[in-house]
Amino acid sequence: MRTPLALLLALAALPAAVRSADYQIAVIPKGTTHEYWRSINAGAVKAQRELKAAGTDVAIIWKGPLLEDDREQQIQVVENFISQKVGAIVLAAMHHKDFSATGNKLLYVGVIAAGIGTMIGIFMSEGLLFKLAFVVTYFAVVWICLEAVRIPELRDLIKQGYETTMRITTMVVFILIGSSCFSVVFLGVSGGVWLENMLTSLPGGVWGFLIFINLFIFFLAFFLDFFEIAFIILPMIAPIAQKVLAPVVGPDYALIWFGVMLCVNMQTSFMHPPFGFALFYLRGVAPKEVKSSDIYWGALPWVGLQMIMVVLVIAFPITVTALLDKPSTVDPNKVRIEIPQIELPPLNFDAPKK
């Protein structure tokens, strides 16, 4: 095994000779200390000699991590060879530690149990079978999470997910607290009455109100995200919208129609600058050749589709209200609740006996 190692040192010391070869092949094992990988190295060097004897000049570059569990070092070696633009890379890739056989079986069992429980809850009642199905599902989820924690890469991913979730949750809670304080102050100075008088006096009646509100939300979404609009703006205009839209779809469906309409509208806040989150996500994974202006222009057709959807929801309220429950035909004034009388022993008001 000394000859291949000497050849490897010679190749490392003479990079110009490697570059002068017709073909450069990088061989990256999982490790370099075990006898198995040394035998792979010897086979690669032998193949190199045979090809050179046949007239094909090939340079074998052998490099890998010392230990077979050093995944980060192997990734770094691969990236280095990619930057060197070698002709080919032969890689013995390190994989994540798989789940155990029990974990894989419980994964399938949990998915099936969740599907069965959902079907039972939809078409039947939430009885014993429904509860048992989701008990199995929750047990499978807990088991898979415990197995995932044992895998270092997945454990770091789970930790990152928890931290991100906590940051977003904290942000939403503070926005909610701030919006509640603002709403109390706004209503305390009769801001609601002023806003209602202004919005109900718009020309065009109901349709003028809807056009104004949707244009206002659309342009506001350029500078505020979904949560801020939902927690600060909507509580102020929702009571007014219920009064204005009740003659069109009824008081029971007014806020539902209005809410779906604005949700479709606020979807554009993810797709237009300067604070469109989807644009930043795409910018983070797009290659350098793709300009930010190209991403912005590419988002315009999708923004247009969202606005078309808003127009359709406004023009055809049945697209929202068609599948809602019909109004109850029962007169609540005629409902009688009979409570059976329970016979109790007569109360004794005599003085207590000493």
User: Taking a C-beta distance cutoff of 8 angstroms, is the pair 314, 264 a contact?
Assistant: no
Q: For residue 283, what is the enclosing H or E element? A: helix 277-285
Region for 151 from its dihedrals, namely left if φ exceeds 0, alpha if ψ lies in -120 to 50, beta otherwise: beta
342: pLDDT strictly greater than 80: no
Q: Tell me the CA end-to-end span of the chain in Å, nearest whole number.
A: 106
Q: Which residue has the higher pLDDT, 347 or 335?
A: 335
What does the pLDDT read at residue 21?
59
Q: How many angstroms separate the CA atoms of 7 and 22, rounded?
A: 18
- Output the 3-class SS for 80-140: HHHHHCCCEEEECCCCCCCCCHHHHHHHHHHHHHHHHHHHHHHHCCCCHHHHHHHHHHHHH
Q: How many angstroms separate the CA atoms of 185 and 87, rounded?
A: 69
Tell me what percent of the residues of the chain surpass a pLDDT of 70: 85
For residue 326, give Cα distances in angstroms to 121, 315, 317, 329: 21, 21, 15, 9
Angle at 246 between CA 243 and CA 249, to 5 degrees: 155
For residue 351, give Cα distances in angstroms to 174, 194, 354: 60, 66, 9
Angle at 290 between CA 289 and CA 293, to 5 degrees: 135
User: Which residue's entry shows tokens 């949560």?
Assistant: 227
Exposed, middle or buried: residue 164 (CB in 10 Å: 0-12, 13-18, 19+)?
Answer: exposed
Extract the tokens encoding 79.
Answer: 């990236």
Q: Which residue has the higher pLDDT, 187 or 314?
A: 314
What does the pLDDT read at residue 312?
92
Q: Which residue has the higher pLDDT, 56 or 330?
A: 56
Q: How many angstroms separate the CA atoms of 298 and 39, rounded?
A: 53
Mean pLDDT of the chain: 78
User: Taking a C-beta distance cutoff of 8 angstroms, is the pair 21, 75 a contact?
Assistant: no
Confidence bin at 193 (pLDDT 50/70/90): confident
User: Which residue's entry shows tokens 């198995």?
Assistant: 36
What does the pLDDT read at residue 12?
43
What does the pLDDT read at residue 1?
40
What does the pLDDT read at residue 98?
63
What does the pLDDT read at residue 326?
63
Extract the tokens encoding 190.
Answer: 């009769």
Confidence bin at 349 (pLDDT 50/70/90): low
Q: Residue 8: which residues within 8 A CB-CB, separation 6 or more?
A: 41, 45, 62
Q: How many angstroms separate the CA atoms of 238 and 259, rounded?
A: 9
Dump pLDDT digits (tens) for 136-185. Answer: 888 888 888 888 777 776 777 778 888 888 887 888 788 778 878 887 88
23: pLDDT strictly greater than 80: no
199: pLDDT strictly greater than 50: yes
Strands (E), the chain: 23-28, 58-62, 88-91
What does the pLDDT read at residue 351?
66
Where is average pLDDT lowest: 38-52, 96-110, 126-140?
A: 96-110
